Each structure stands twice: as structure tokens, then as C-alpha cells.
Structure 1
């Protein structure tokens, strides 16, 4: 599939009116090991549940599946529990539980199912006898489908034959065994017993996605098992296509950062084990679910700053409103504005790298920043009421607010005022260090308290700057900007209604805009 086609399918998977039948909310009561009332909502046709081993992902998935089948269950595995569902039709109207076609609710564990199939076939004396009288299904033999499956597996198929074998397991009569015979473009022929586990799993999942009915609800256990990162990502793209084209509503479990990266943050749920039982949370940032997978988040970009004071100022600003950004982008001091300018002017990659750069100048470099906005590296300036460098900005704030700052540091305000008065004529790079040494406190702590107080007094300017950094680079939809403001409000525990109003008043006919922060404040450009 082409990149544009893949993006379209993922976008449509989030457009709920594309689906005739949706599982939107559910609450499980008294499921063993979980909170007594365990509930969550589903906002897309593909939702992923992740968490550490043993936390209960499989238990939850099977409990929901069996609840949809029976609604009330008393089993040795789960205990006696009930499930309440909110089901909707295409128009968003609630649907009665009784209207579910239980035959359209499916659960698969691809790795477990393929292991079961292979174990049975390897102990069968004559597989060919099983195939006698069974016509092969052409479901995967369409040229387009063969090409897509071949792309996932990494092979070029000339033919894919599927023989659907029924009633091989007396204790599970509904379990169908697909037996695959394939021919590659080079003429090599082999079958399910001779292919690798990863290839068998890919073919099994592809077959199952085409075998189920339209408008199905599908539960998939650890879709990534035995698959390379390459195959995982392409298989998830294929799942998005089938979900949209066949109106399938999917809930999956996964340990894979590649699978979760495809599903996206908004449609990932994390299981957490608490004293009261397992609960489910919607992570605010990728680092939250990566931690549960035992993966350390990697920096995906850098923010270039002039010196240590600019770096400290920027760090405190980001930490107040969007600390997750500090996990995505590292702060880099480049030792002066001229060094940042060189990077901006000469950084012209032939292909967009995975590592993004943002150039942040001191506010006294306002004119220079304006002259650099046409280059590929996004530029911004630190906030300042009067276009000062951060050293001067923080000094002016200390002079004006020394009484509050001395109180926060438990200092005698007259002593602090005296030190300010004595050192006013000193070089602006050294004044805070000299005073902190006299007070016998670290300059980092002294500066951090001044910055904290500055942010309290200049809340909207600070928030505008962090919003611009959080949305820097690519064009972004207005709805995503509003969502980012909501996250910032939650992180900082403040009301940013005036910032929200500024953004909403700048609605444009085009869907996406670019944000940057210059001396004049937040800039929203079409």
C-alpha cells in the first residue's frame, strides 16, 4: 500500500461514523484481580491494551469476549462477574445487547492457534488425506492481496491456496484449520508444515481477517508474536485497511512498541496493578506505556539554546506545562547565538531525519530570529516582556519581586535586597552566581525559584512558548492544538482559557497551521 493510502485507512479508523456497529464503553463488575468496577471507553476501530507480563491482559480480553457471548459468567478462571456494554450503531445511537449477532464476535491468539495447528498436523499420519474432498479457497489468491501479504512477510507469492479444514478438534468443533500451500515467484512450493512460524502467523491472521463477517467485533491476543518489527508495522497497516473496509471493530493486546506506535497514543490503554486491583489508564505520553514494556524512551529531537541560563529557563518552562516534552527532546547548549545560527543556515538534509531540531534564541535576538524563519529548522525565541536575554529578564524580575522570592527561599528580604543593590553593576552573566554564593545556596536552586516565580507572574506568555515548542515543526490541526492545551492545563493544574480563546479565534479555512513563538508572542500561520 502507498503511504497516502495507509494514512487514509488509519485516519478513517478513528472516524466512528464509518462503522455500523461499535463497542464504545464497557464496565466489568467483580472480575477476579481487577478493581471491583473496572471500566474504559473505546474511541477507534483499533484499540490496544498493553502492560507488563502477568498483569491481566489476556484475562481482560477473554473476559470481555466471553461477556459479549454470554454477558454473565461463573468460571473457575474468572470467578463470577458481569459486563455492561455501551454499543452504538453507525449514527451513534445506543444498541441493545440482545441485538448482537454472537457469531460475529471472534477471539484469536495467532501464536497459540498456529502452534495448535502445527502440533496437530505434525502428528497426523497423512495430511493429504485430510485435504481430500476439500476445495481450496481463493480468498488470499487475489493479486492485490497476494502482493500485500507478500510485502508483510517479505516474499513474492505467485499463488496462495487455503484449504479450510473443519471439525478436527472434537472439544472445539468451531475451530477451523486453514492449511496453506504457497508458490513463490521463483517457483518454490511449500505448505504450512514447511514454512516458518512468522510466515504461518502472517498468513493465518490475513486469512482470518478475510474469513470473518463484515461488521464483526474482533479480539486479537498479542498480534506481534514471532514477527519482526518490519512485519509488525506492515501487518498493523493491513489490519487498519481490513478494519475500515470490512467495518471490523478490533481490540488487541500487545507488548510491542511498533504495534502501539501504529495504534497511537490516543487509542492505547495501559493496565496497572494497584493494591485495590488492576486498573486501566489512558496514557498522556508514549513514555508512560514504554515504561511498562521495559523500554527506555529515546530522544526524538533536540532544542538548541545559547547558554546554561537559557537552558535552565527553557527547562523550567517546559517542566511546568509539558514535562513529557523533555523526554522527547534533549536540551542542547551551543555556547552562543552564532553557533545556533550556523546550524539553522547550514542544516539542509536531503531527506527529513527522524531526529528533529528546534532553534531557540534569547529574546534579545528578535530581529535575527525573524530573518531565520524561512529555513528548515524551526526557530523561536525565549519569552520576555521587554525583549531581554534570560539573564537580564530574570534579574529584572528578581529586583521587582525580591520580597516574594526571599520568602520562598526562607531568606531575610532586607539581606537579599542589599545583595541586589550591591551587585547591580556587575556583569549580567555573573550576578545571580555571586548572590547565590553570598547566600550559601546553589545558583541552580536560586535561579529555579526566580524562574518559577516569573512563570507564575507571566503564565500565558510561558504557556504560549511551551505550546509552540510542543507543536513545532509540522503543520498541525487546530483540534490537536486544543488537545495539547488541555494536557498542559492538567500538567500545570492551571486554567489556560485565555490561551484557548486566542487559538480558537484564529480558526482558518485550512485544517492545519504552524505555530511558533517570537518576541511578539504566539504566532499562528497558515
Structure 2
């Protein structure tokens, strides 16, 4: 496939056969483009929105993600059939031949790390066939990655009932494979290969493709994505914080989300004003990795108090537990990406176990009193009923009653249940509790930030 002129590609792309109607508080908007770029400030609900779409199409999402999409109503029309994200029926139920993929760069890297950490890797790989890309495809890869490839090969490795792709490349100066590649190069090769395999009329979800990828490659990838979407009649939903992707895209494909008291809304899009409002800066120096969304909320709160500009240089990525952090911490520094592992407070007791691992990146522990931030915040809620009630404009006795009813509830579900019963955003409740937590624990928060500052030269 020859890479066409940018203006031709964007102008010729047709609408999707999916008509997605988002309805919140009687406000409607449509997503009916082949390529839909979803952006907005942190916490505006991009991930919740994307998870709602994944769910209505039929992809599996976690229990926590299911709880978060309950207040978001989405209507989708496809082949005269209508679907709602809060109903049981999914698009895949009626369209079993429909192909859907979910491309998450962090999951892609995690799967690769699991593969290459195997003993006797070379012997293990020998049982799989390797395929060489034709010259015209190598030309596209050279365009995407700005590398002078002479030859590129791919191997599909079946590992624990899933496919992991292993690449080998030859340039004029060296040969290497996925064990020696930077993350950005591997992820881009993976994106390209998966998109090549997609059948016509498929659906693709891509979450923040800019992660690990340089500016030029981001722009080239977006233009390639438009072309492949048009050629294969793909429908693509992509979330991003990248100013370069937003600048590159045609405005009708961009959907700016915001979160207000009434819920998620679409904001009027202006490219210049959006970039300014979002405060997007390209100089990302690394990523903070945390165990879950509550840990992300705590770390975000602390950094906003101390040095909000730091979040532009070190975005926070929420993973799925401490083991996911540890896997990424063992990634080679040669990839050119700096990771900072931030474990929950309870992991301090396992400090010696963590130290025994072959980490290549620095790690720290969140401040806390109990084992995890959820339990600390549950205590704060019980102590500060009057403050919370006043700020959320709810009845004190109603809140006290809910606290009593949920005593002993699993802390993972505690705040989602409380906020749902109170009909208030969970994020608003958590923010009030974090403010009180930081007021009561100034010393440990100060010590935590000073440790970060000293070790990372902020």
C-alpha cells in the first residue's frame, strides 16, 4: 500500500456504517467517522467512555470498569439494529463474524516481556515460522518508524493461548530483534502487523498510541491509520493526550470531552484553544507507574499540591497491581523510556523481596497509615462526615447510615457503592477525602515528595 498525500487521505475517508449516539442529560452527539479521536483533560472520562464502547461491542471489561460506566448511556445503531450499553445484548451477539481488536501499548509490552523472559528463548522460538515482509511493506515501515530498514521479519508466537509477535530487522549497520528493540519501535511494528491482519469492516480500539513513540512517528502513524481505515473500511476509536496527533488530525474527527457535575459532555472543539486548555507539552521525560486508580488519585493529588507541572513531564499510568509494575521495572533502560514505580504503602513490608528483583528503574512507596489508601480514606470518611456532607451537599444522617451499612465491605468496591447510593461522582468524593488525608498527614506526604525530588532531580 503506497502512502498517499495527507490531504487526499483525510478528505476521501468515508463515514462509518456505525452510528453511535451518546446521550447524557438529553445532550446528543454522533461518532460516525471511520476514525474517531477522543481527547480531553485527565479525569474527564475518556477511558470510561472507551470502556463503554468496548462493552457495547462485546469486549470483556473488568468489574471495576463495569461499575464506572453505569451512569453513561450510549446508543449505537448498526445494520438497522439498536444497542444500548446498559442492556444485555451486544453487537457481537448478532454479528458473530465481526472482528474487533483492542490495542493497548502497555499490555503489548507486558506480553512481550513475558515472552522474552522465558528460559531457552532461542530454542523455544525455533518451533515457530518466521515470515519476511515484502519490499513495499518494508517501505511503509521505514515511513512509520523513520528507520532505514533493509529487511523486516515477523514471527507469530503462540504463548498461553494468545499470539505474541516477535520481530527481526536488518538495517545497513546492524541486525537485531524484539529483545533489543526500543518500546516505541516494537509497539509500532505490532500496530502495523495487527492492522494488516484486520479484515474489512472491523472495529479497532487504540488507547493513547503516542506512548513510547517519537513525534514524527506519531504523525506518520496517524496518516497511515486514516489510509488503512479507508481502504479496509475499519472503524477506529482512539484516545490521546498527544498535541502532535491533535495538530495532525482533521478537526471533524476529534471529539473533546469534559466532565461536569451533570456528567460527561462533549465540548465545542477548537484546535488552538484545545491545545492551550489541555496544557499539553511534548517534553515527556518518563512515566509514574501505580497499582490502581486510587493510587493514581493519591499520587496526582500529592503532585498537584507540590508541583503540578511535574505531571506534564511524568504522566501517571495506572496498572493492575504491584506485579504489573515489577514486570515493567525489569525493562532495559536501553529502550530510552524512564519508568518510576510507585508501589502501595503495604509493599514496604516486602521491601527486601522487591530489592531482590533485577530492576532497571527507580521505585518508591506511597505514603500511608494502613496497608492501602482505600482503608485510610474509609477512616477519613467516618471521621469527617460533616465536612464531606457539606462539600457534596448531602444529608449527614444519610451518609452516616451508608457508612454503617457498608461497614466491612470489600475496600475495592467501597467508594463506588457509596458514591452510587449518594448519586455523586466517585472522583468528587475521593478528592474531598484526599484533601483531608493530606491535611492530617503532612509530614509523611512531605517526606515522600522529598524522597522523589532528591532521587529524581526534580
Supply the distance in 1 between the matched residues of 2:62 and 2:226 (Cα, whole angstroms).
34
1:44 counterpart (26, 33, 37) = 33
Q: CA deviation at 1:2?
A: 8.0
Cα-to-partner distance string for 1:209-237 (whole Å, 9 max, x where unaligned): 11222210111001111111111111111
Q: CA deviation at 1:74?
A: 8.9
Matches within 5 A, 1:164-175: 164-166=156-158, 168-169=159-160, 173=161, 175=162
Partner of 2:246 in structure 1? 260
Supply the distance in 1 between the matched residues of 2:34 and 2:221 (Cα, whole angstroms).
16
Partner of 1:59 in structure 2? 48
Q: CA deviation at 1:243?
A: 0.8
Cα-to-partner distance string for 1:250-285 (whole Å, 9 max, x where unaligned): 1100111221223221111111110122222341x2
2:63 counterpart (75, 81, 88) = 75
Partner of 2:108 in structure 1? 114
Partner of 2:262 in structure 1? 276
Supply the distance in 2 between the matched residues of 1:39 and 1:256 (Cα, whole angstroms).
26
Supply the distance in 2 between the matched residues of 1:126 and 1:43 (Cα, whole angstroms).
48
Rg larger in structure: 1
Contact 1:159-1:182 within 8 A present in 2 as well:
yes
Matches within 5 A, 1:120-269: 120-138=114-132, 141-166=133-158, 168-169=159-160, 173=161, 175-186=162-173, 188-269=174-255
Classify the secondary structure of the residue corresponding to 1:76. helix
| Change over 3 Å in CA distance of 1:238–1:74 after alignment to 2 | closer
Supply the distance in 2 between the matched residues of 1:204 and 1:123 (Cα, whole angstroms).
19
Q: CA deviation at 1:131?
A: 1.7
Contact 1:224-1:254 within 8 A present in 2 as well:
yes
Supply the distance in 2 between the matched residues of 1:145 and 1:217 (Cα, whole angstroms).
22
Q: CA deviation at 1:70?
A: 6.6
Classify the secondary structure of the residue corresponding to 2:36. strand
Supply the distance in 2 between the matched residues of 1:117 and 1:70 (Cα, whole angstroms).
19
Supply the distance in 1 between the matched residues of 2:247 and 2:175 (Cα, whole angstroms).
35
Matches within 5 A, 1:340-359: none
Classify the secondary structure of the residue corresponding to 1:77. helix
Supply the distance in 1 between the matched residues of 2:198 and 2:181 (Cα, whole angstroms).
24
Q: TM-score, normalised by structure 1?
A: 0.47
Partner of 1:376 in structure 2? none
Kindly tell me the number of residue pairs found equivalent between the two proteins.
Answer: 270
| Change over 3 Å in CA distance of 1:145–1:70 after alignment to 2 | closer
Supply the distance in 2 between the matched residues of 1:118 and 1:47 (Cα, whole angstroms).
28
Supply the distance in 2 between the matched residues of 1:3 and 1:74 (Cα, whole angstroms).
38
Contact 1:122-1:193 within 8 A present in 2 as well:
yes
